[in-house]
Amino acid sequence: MKGFLGALAFCLLLFLPFYLTSSPSGGSVSFLRLKAEDFTPKEGKEGGPLRLVLSSDPKTLNPALAQETSSTAVLSDLFSGLTKVDLKTMQVVPDLAESWEEKEDGRVYVFRLRKGLRWSDGTPFTAEDVVFTYRDVYLNPQIPNSTGDMFRGLLKGPEEVRNFVRKLDEHRVEFRLPQPFAPFLNALSAPILPKHKLEKHTREGTFMTAWNVSTDPKEIVGTGPYVLKRYVKGVLVEYTANPHYYERDPQNRPLPYIKSKVAHILQDPDTALLKFSLGEVDYIGVRPQDVLFVSRIKESRLFDLGPTPSTTFLVFNQNPSADIPKHKLRWFQNPEFRRAISHAIDREGICYLVYNGLAEPLYGPITPANRPYYEEGLFPTYPYDLKRAKAILESIGFRDRDGDGWLEDERGNPVELVLLTNAGNKEREAIGNIVKEDLEKIGIKVIFRPIDFNTLVSKLTSPPYGWEAVIIGLTGSMDPHFGRNVWHSSGTLHMWNPRQKSPQTQWEKRVDELLDRGAVETDPQERVKLYREAYRIIAQEQPMIFLVTPKSMLSAKDRIENLFPTVWGWYREEALFLR
């Protein structure tokens, strides 16, 4: 799907042919083989609706505030950036910008906007919208957001922020950087927002509640291929084609070809699978345990996209201001405690019991999909070893002091924790039960509690940060700088201890330094070295206990034409059409 976080990549390895694999349930499953160089979209026809599945309600309808996939999945087709990434060539290409000119050795960029652009309500799109989006929203210190996180490490002080972007005329904007910034063109794929709709909220200080889930869909104005027609909580999201979308096919016909989409909100993946099998949904992400069943559904194709760039992990709350007992905070802040827990988790068992063998253990913050940054042997491994885990815990004062079979810390506090995950995600619920069983084998009592996804996100990202441990996941990004909001100590998604004014630990300080250097390093090989060192430190310190990386698989009905899926999204989604 069209995503907010496009970025550079240095090779086309993500587009290697799909291959045959054996189903762990028995039988041979064929995956469609595709090559990027052989794929060219053909002339389509108008039609619809395209029917799809969303796994949760959105938390917000404001793209600047969306930090969770439940929201970005709803919003991704409503907005556009100045640039985007061509998923066939992996190069940055123009979107709302028609072209750009680089000056002063990469410190100044002048963007020329496409003429005749309009917002979905018909209002003309101008350079004012670009300046408003960056100056008043993304770089507004009162509006925490992931795009702002990407630039805050680069722009030092109010003057550099003020000089960052300015209007030259109605169709030209200038960006001025204090130093070269390697992922700059990719970063400008962030959604541009309508000044005529949102300026009043930035002036009045109400932006954090603007465009919430109760907002009339007619108020959500964008420049993407679709507009929001209807949202019924817990039921569906309905889209219609944006009549002012700028892209056209070679015959000068307006895109997208598919004029309407209906997304069913189905938290239970079994229900989603049933709808797909009955022909009520046109495509679906496939869980490993469903591969054999899905392969037998008629009039559909099955794609194996390779290892997902997403990560699944367990994270402990290390935030000093969190609403959790102080003795538990001491446990979680101790890296030896975290390493012991890592040794106590049976990743191989998770791969086979949860993913039917269609997954691999993961020990660090990126997966094999993140080339060229990932390489075998990059991360220290934490093999499943209950004796070693218990020995590490004993070395830091955790023992069964009263003979009841459960550990206590050096002050006599029972070692008990509440582990959360998002309800309805069968894989994470299964992982949680395995982790609970593993930890109880070494004397740690676990209260495992699946809760609503958006409630979970609120606990993770908002005061009073009332959580102890969570199993959750993060989407990956092609350029490592777009993970800054997670890995930098000041980041809004640095979830074990977010928005630090200064790094709490020496290792976080070192990671911050490496991330800041990587942002301005323009030599690709040097960037790889910097980010690999940062990732290696994170893996050693285990602030997140990374668990597994499953394969990314998709099944789609034969009636969808011009379909080219990748782990990063669909190439030329606007050219899809239905037979």
Question: 88, 39 in Cβ contact below 8 A?
Answer: yes
Size (the chain), residues: 579
Number of domains in the chain: 1
Segments forming the whole domain that contains residue 424: 311-551
Question: 369, 308 in Cβ contact below 8 A?
Answer: yes
Give domain status of residue 11, yes or no.
no
Give domain status of residue 505, yes or no.
yes
Question: 524, 279 in Cβ contact below 8 A?
Answer: no
Distance (Å, rounded) from C-alpha 118 to C-alpha 126? 9
Give domain status of residue 234, yes or no.
no
Give domain status of residue 54, yes or no.
no
Closest to 467 measured CA to CA, from 500, 418, 422, 431: 418
Distance (Å, rounded) from C-alpha 81 to C-alpha 150? 15
Question: 112, 168 in Cβ contact below 8 A?
Answer: no
Bridge partner list, 408: 399, 414
The pLDDT assigned to 384 comes to: 98
Please state, in angstroms and as integers, the Cα–Cα distance from residue 8 to each residue in 12, 243, 329, following that order.
11, 31, 38
Give domain status of residue 522, yes or no.
yes
Distance (Å, rounded) from C-alpha 266 to C-alpha 261? 16
Distance (Å, rounded) from C-alpha 406 to C-alpha 445? 7
149 is written with which tokens?
A: 């996180």
Distance (Å, rounded) from C-alpha 84 to C-alpha 370? 18
Element (H, E) at 555: strand 544-557
Q: In what order do the strands lie in the sheet with 260-265?
A: 50-54, 260-265, 236-241, 226-232
CATH number, residue 350: 3.10.105.10
The pLDDT assigned to 488 comes to: 95
Residues in the chain predicted with pLDDT less than 50, given as ranges, are 1-27
Count Cβ atoms within 10 A of the Cβ of residue 128 and give its class: 0-12 exposed, 13-18 middle, 19 or more buried: middle
The pLDDT assigned to 301 comes to: 93
Buried b (16+ CB within 10 A) or exposed e, 457-490: bebbbeeebebbbbbbbbbbbbbbbbbbbbbbbb
Task: List CB contacts of 143: < 8 A, sequence separation 6 or more.
Answer: 64, 65, 137, 202, 207, 208
Distance (Å, rounded) from C-alpha 36 to C-alpha 88? 6
The pLDDT assigned to 5 comes to: 29
Task: List CB contacts of 420: < 8 A, sequence separation 6 or more.
Answer: 449, 450, 451, 456, 459, 467, 468, 469, 470, 471
Give domain status of residue 541, yes or no.
yes
Give percent of the chain above pLDDT 70. 94
Give domain status of residue 324, yes or no.
yes
In three-state secondary structure terms, 230 is: strand
Dihedral of CA atoms 302, 307, 309, 312 in degrees, nearest 10, equals: 100
Count Cβ atoms within 10 A of the Cβ of residue 134 and give its class: 0-12 exposed, 13-18 middle, 19 or more buried: buried
pLDDT tens digits for 399-440? 999 999 999 999 999 999 999 999 988 899 999 999 999 999
The pLDDT assigned to 409 comes to: 97
Distance (Å, rounded) from C-alpha 102 to C-alpha 111? 9
| CA 211-123-114 angle, 5° bins | 110
Give domain status of residue 366, yes or no.
yes
The pLDDT assigned to 403 comes to: 94
The pLDDT assigned to 34 comes to: 67
